[in-house]
Amino acid sequence: MSARPIASGTISFGLVSIPIKLYAAAESASGVSFNMLHAKDAARLKQQYICTKDGEIVPRDQMVKGFEFSKDRYVTFTPEELKALEEQSTQTVEVVEFVPITKVDPVYFDRSYYVGPDKGGAKAYALLSEVMKETQRVALARYAARGKMYLVMLRPFEGGIVMQQLLYADEVRSFSEVPLEPAEVSPKELDLAKLLVDQRAVESFKPETYEDDVKKRVLGLIQKKVEGEDISIVPSEQGGGQIIDLMEALKASLAKTTAKRGKAPAATDEAAADSKPAARKAAKKVADEPAPRRKVSKRA
């Protein structure tokens, strides 16, 4: 079944105008949600707004919107004034510049939308998608819609185009706010970590191989409750008080991964041996090192 467009518009690319349609790239939130009920009769509860000054319940027709310009001081707006504050929606995606895709960090990514050509725009649409693919650049653009001005990125995707809504710079917190404790990594630790990465390395991302196990478990337990069964919670194992040395932990991780995957076919072993002599040398070097003494924290 064909996807239904959620909006239409135009990509302005120089003097070229490309009529487009936007489609949702993701399903709506599919997590397990619960409703608030009255414990006495299991009836749904309704949210109400209560005035913090006199405690009265306020109906919607007596509500106004306001902006707090100083502590507990507000300026209020009528619906007409709020409408006047909104950006005029042009539905035009105005391309401003092209940048290498590697220069846009995913921390700025927000929502994604699929972009498809509208009537008469197929050739220009294909040209834009192909030129971005060939140059390995993406288009940064402005998009005025729903009363707001959005910063978006157009990028090639499976023969088409995806529009990625981006966050503005002032919407992304600086990483300098994250406290970091200085630490040094030894060459031996780095060699072991590289081997661990190599053991789990794949050449492509396959999202279909991942599932929401928590959601499946919760839905299974809910079905048991629907069928009248009691459910019990299995207590999770609590971590011990041992602080294992990083080298020892890396070696244990490598051994566990090797045992879990089993011995690879001979052809695979030979290919790995041919392509990764440095890794094999590093592995032998690390394996010959005596295991560091384990540190155990003392508990009262």
The pLDDT tens digits of the residues spanning 67-94 come to 999 998 999 998 888 888 776 677 889 9
Contact 129, 161 (CB under 8 A): yes
For the chain, what is the mean pLDDT?
Answer: 81
Q: Please return the burial class of 166, using the count of CB atoms within 10 Å of its CB with bins 0-12, 13-18 and 19+.
A: buried
Task: Name the band, by pLDDT with cuts 50, 70 and 90, for residue 273.
Answer: very low
**Alpha-helical runs (H) found in the chain:** 79-85, 122-135, 187-200, 213-226, 246-261, 266-275, 277-288
Q: Is the pLDDT of residue 270 over 80?
A: no
- Higher-pLDDT residue of 285 and 100 is 100
User: Which of 53-57, 94-98, 99-103, 274-278 shows the lowest per-residue confidence on average (mean pLDDT)?
Assistant: 274-278
Contact 94, 12 (CB under 8 A): yes
Which pLDDT score, from 0 to 100, does residue 263 have?
47
Query: Which conformational region is residue 136 in: left (phi greater than 0), alpha (psi within -120 to 50 degrees), or beta?
Result: left
CB-CB neighbours of 251 under 10 Å: 19
At 127, the pLDDT band (50, 70, 90 cuts) reads very high
Contact 197, 250 (CB under 8 A): no
Residues of the chain with CATH 2.40.290.10: 7-27+87-171
Which CATH class for the 7-27+87-171 domain? mainly beta
Q: Which two tokens stand for residue 32?
A: 């397990």
CA-nearest of 183, 191, 197 to 288 is 191
As a whole number of Å, the CA-based R_g of the chain is 28
Q: Kindly report the CA angle at 274 between 271 and 280, in degrees rounded to 5?
A: 105
* Model confidence at 196: pLDDT above 90: no
**Which pLDDT band, with edges at 50, 70 and 90, does 266 fall under?**
very low
Q: Residue holding tokens 């390995």?
A: 136
Q: Which residues contact 16 (CB under 8 A, 6 or more apart)?
A: 124, 128
Residue 285 has pLDDT above 80, yes or no: no
Contacts 24+ apart (CB under 8 A), 118-125: 118/8, 118/19, 118/20, 118/21, 119/19, 120/19, 121/18, 121/19, 121/20, 124/13, 124/16, 124/17, 124/18, 125/11, 125/18, 125/20, 125/160, 125/161
Banded pLDDT at 204 (limits 50, 70, 90): confident
